[in-house]
Chains A and B, each alone.
Chain A
């Protein structure tokens, strides 16, 4: 009976989708701003577990385990085969930042590119390494 239970548990684990997470790091070419987020996969939709945003000396971090920073949370988030859209919110749930990305793949290349806008600070062209995590 014990062996049967173990087999069922093991089988369930093997058949479940992976719930791995990976950091997606987006930054502008000049290193003036960045938007990093910890994305979970396996659920079929974008699920961001943590976010860290920087520009100049300013840092916002949703989890102090990832470094010091002002509070930030994730508002709207969406991903499909062609685009990624993320809004980050400040401690009062006002709009802090907008990340807008398109995806493209060709051969071995998997590219994310788009824009990052941080309210009150500026806007930048950013590219991301989806395999950086």
Chain B
């Protein structure tokens, strides 16, 4: 019985390992990036989708069609989202996402820019997590 109580309390005390998507999209929907984030404060990027014009990238076929893509470096915190995405060898920069977060009253917003070298640059607004 005591073992059951200990096990139950451990389950309750274990932090949630949930993941949620952040989607950032340009107003004309020409470009978008999705980041599946998890871990403490949703600061770890575990999956990626990226679309720019007719081009698409995805970190796994599970998340959609496209060329392979990976996180080169990322920082989510201090009211900022700063993410560089690259090819799997981290030799070629594929995209840069830079966004600020702001809140006031019931408002919580995230907005910034997405640059995809060779494709374009867009102002984006983000939703989630």
Contacts and interface: CB of A to CB of B under 8 A. Distances in A.
Contacts of A116: 102
B contact face: mostly helix, strand, loop, or mixed: strand
Contacts of B114: 104
B112 A102 contact: yes
B28 to A, nearest CB: 11
Interface in B98-113: 98-105, 107-113
A110 B79 CA distance: 23
Nearest to A125: B111
Interface in A55-110: 82-83, 98, 100-107, 109-110
A82 B123 contact: no
Count class of interface residues, chain A: 20 to 34
The majority secondary structure among interface residues of chain A is: strand
Contacts, number: 94
Contact of B120 (A106, A113, A120): A106
B121 A104 contact: yes
21 contacts: A101-B100, A102-B100, A102-B113, A103-B113, A104-B96, A104-B114, A104-B121, A106-B117, A111-B115, A113-B99, A113-B124, A114-B99, A114-B100, A114-B111, A114-B112, A114-B113, A120-B104, A121-B104, A123-B108, A124-B111, A125-B110
